[in-house]
Amino acid sequence: MSDGAQALVTPSDRRFDPRLLAWLSPAFPVGAFAYSHGLEWAVERGWVCDRETLTEWLRDLVGHGAIRNDMILLAAAWRAVVGDQMRGLAEVNTLALALQPSAERHLETVTQGNAFLETVRAAWSGDSDALDDMALALAPDVAYPVAVGAATAAHDLPLTETLNACGLAAVSNLTSAAIRLSAVGQTDAQRTIAALMPELAACAAAAGQSTLDDLGGAVYRSDIASLAHETQYTRLFRS
């Protein structure tokens, strides 16, 4: 990363803002509970059936899949807003939408992204001019990590803490889905989250120093699951 980009990251990362707890909590109305990210198909096929297989499935998403990529995209969006680069922000969003491997994953990210940005604009005070400029640059649809990165930057929330909170929220949502799919119980779900904390911290730290050139993935079964879920006969989730 350039010295200029480093300067954008470091100063505001020395504090924690409790708004992150609210914005990335299950109570924030983005509908995250309705999506399993293809996990429902993985449970149907027996690929995920207990704590060990769930932990490995999520570990791959953090290390090589969508959770890692979402953190990189979030960081790029955050820097674009801090640098007042609305065109760059729009380009990050276009890339984020194009990276979705299936129709349901596209639905998952834009439904949550649109809801997140709309709710922040409606309910939370901040730099209204910046938020209006962002909404214009990102119309008509915004990917969820881009919405989070842009809104947190407009509210001067720290990048590193945002990345950590977003990664933990993603893993927590998927473990909640695994509970509802009866793949694990509540205690094993918490064991999974605890086991993944070092990987989440490392992923957030790397994403904070990343560029869009670092995007990439190798989680083929997750992508296949998101495609196969579209025709799954009995479904609890929208993805």
Q: 186-238 pLDDT, tens per residue?
A: 999 999 999 999 999 999 999 999 999 999 999 999 999 999 999 999 899 99
**Which residue's entry shows tokens 């990362």?**
13
* pLDDT tens-digit readout, 46-99: 999 999 999 999 999 999 999 999 999 999 999 999 998 999 999 999 999 999
**Which residue's entry shows tokens 């924030």?**
28
Contacts of 75 (CB under 8 A, 6+ apart): 149, 159, 163, 207, 208, 210
What distance in Å separates the CA atoms of residue 199 and residue 190, rounded to the nearest whole number? 15
What architecture (CATH level 2) is domain 49-220? Answer: Orthogonal Bundle (1.10)
| 169, 66 Cβ separation under 8 angstroms | no
Q: Which two tokens stand for residue 43?
A: 């449970």
| 74, 166 Cβ separation under 8 angstroms | yes
More confident of the two residues 184 and 18 = 184
For the whole model, what pTM was predicted?
0.91
